[in-house]
Amino acid sequence: MIHAIRRHSLFGAGLWLLAACGGDGGGGTPVGGSGVIDGPDFTIAPAHESRWIAGALDGEDWEVFGSIADLIFNEAGDLFILDEQAGHVVVFDRDGVYLRTISRQGEGPGELTDPESISLLADGRLAVFDGGRNGIQFFTPEGEYAESAPFDPKQGAPRRVGAWLSDGSIITAREFVVSGTAEAMSVSSSVGGTGDAPGRPLVRYRTDGTREPFYTAWEPPPPTGDAAEASGGSFSFNLSPVRAFDAGLHFAALSDGRIAVVDSSGYRIRLIGEDGAVSEVLERPLTPTPVTNTVRSAERERRLAELEGNRSPTTLSLAGRPDIRMPDDFASQLQEALRARIGEMTFAEVIPAIEALAVDFDDRLWVVRTPLPNEEGPIDIVTPDARYLGTIQPGGLRVPDAFGPDGLMAYVDTHDLGYPIVRVVQLAPDAPLTENRTP
């Protein structure tokens, strides 16, 4: 079902400054130097037009979404929506007209078992990463099955796609390795590579199944403190300590094959070439925000509320193996251990400057700055050549789930009746994202 909706504008909420950290970080020396993004914030409020909405409570298979895992636009503005639950990709044109459905759930050639991510390659083919089959399925632009590229879990396989390159290669920080036999199988899953090397490795998986190191990101020192324990039933949990406000690892692909990486607490974005070398570093000299007692209390309360709001797990999922049904008291004891770990949680000294990173269809970087707990952060729009285009304030336009040409953007949302929908909007032609301005 397609709903046409009206045009509206977003207006700025005034100047809003977030103090961010200028601290640590790793990586190599940039070949092309550093680009300093200086000057104070100035607000932009891009007007946008709501174009169409897809999704229905009941209807044809292509109208009803089960679980939307990923979506992507092509150069013409057609939107490809991956429905993980249905095991297919639904395609709409730029006006919301249904075009076709690609693939279906199954284990045969061209069928999808557990699809997680999609990409459109330079040659026009659609690539689908299927975690259930540990590989990539390729389809022609018309939706016909072309070929597959499996990964060997015994040599290492992606557990999650971090970014796609135009040749179909996958960049990931999450991998797993399977060893042993079917009767005695061991699964080793890791965040930041499968080896013991320091740092957080980003790894490139090519379509021929080969794995190669791409870049090693900086890694904060391990958290200190006592492990959180919970016992007394069928299980005994011993969870390693955790530290809040450690620098995250965020990365996204540019159209020229470079990867933008954030791995430190400072406002620092490294551009990594296809050879794994740092070509440039983009920085904003913002003042650190210290983690005070008030911030610590708010972050503990936020995490506890989030824990209570999540559905208690009743199955244990392991990469490469079927889910395991757990006893009834598994969930309650795990919740107890997680609450204990939040109570024992330690904290970094400052709040990381950047919370998330995305790249739009025109290679602009959407940099989400980390807010205080339970608040919303502003979004800086910058370019790879260090031009600052402005800041979208909290309450304004948010980072979409997919960027398209001509300002098209798609958001995965939930209807008031509880079913998944996709909203497509378009930036106005005069949206202030194309030139550098003065405050």
Q: Is the pLDDT of residue 317 over 70?
A: no
The pLDDT value given to residue 437: 45
When pLDDT is cut at 50, 70 and 90, the band that residue 5 belongs to is very low
The pLDDT value given to residue 227: 78
138: β partners: 127, 147
Q: Which two tokens stand for residue 176?
A: 């797993």
**pLDDT average, residue stretch 370-385:** 96
* pLDDT > 90 in the chain, percent: 69
Residue range 26-56, pLDDT digits in tens: 555 555 567 888 888 999 999 999 999 999 9
The pLDDT value given to residue 367: 98
* Higher pLDDT pick, 234 / 208: 208
Residue range 143-156, pLDDT digits in tens: 999 999 999 988 88
* Higher pLDDT pick, 247 / 327: 247
Distances (CA, A) of 273 to 118, 258, 367: 22, 5, 20
The pLDDT value given to residue 6: 32
The pLDDT value given to residue 233: 65
Q: Which two tokens stand for residue 165?
A: 């390159």
The pLDDT value given to residue 285: 92
Asked if 346 and 243 count as a contact pair (C-beta separation under 8 A), the reply is yes
When the pLDDT of each residue in the chain is averaged and rounded to a whole number, the result is: 86
Residue range 222-265, pLDDT digits in tens: 998 887 777 666 677 788 899 999 999 999 999 999 999 999 99
**pLDDT average, residue stretch 118-142:** 95
The least confident of 25-29, 274-278, 416-420 is 25-29
The pLDDT value given to residue 321: 56
**pLDDT average, residue stretch 75-83:** 98
When pLDDT is cut at 50, 70 and 90, the band that residue 8 belongs to is very low
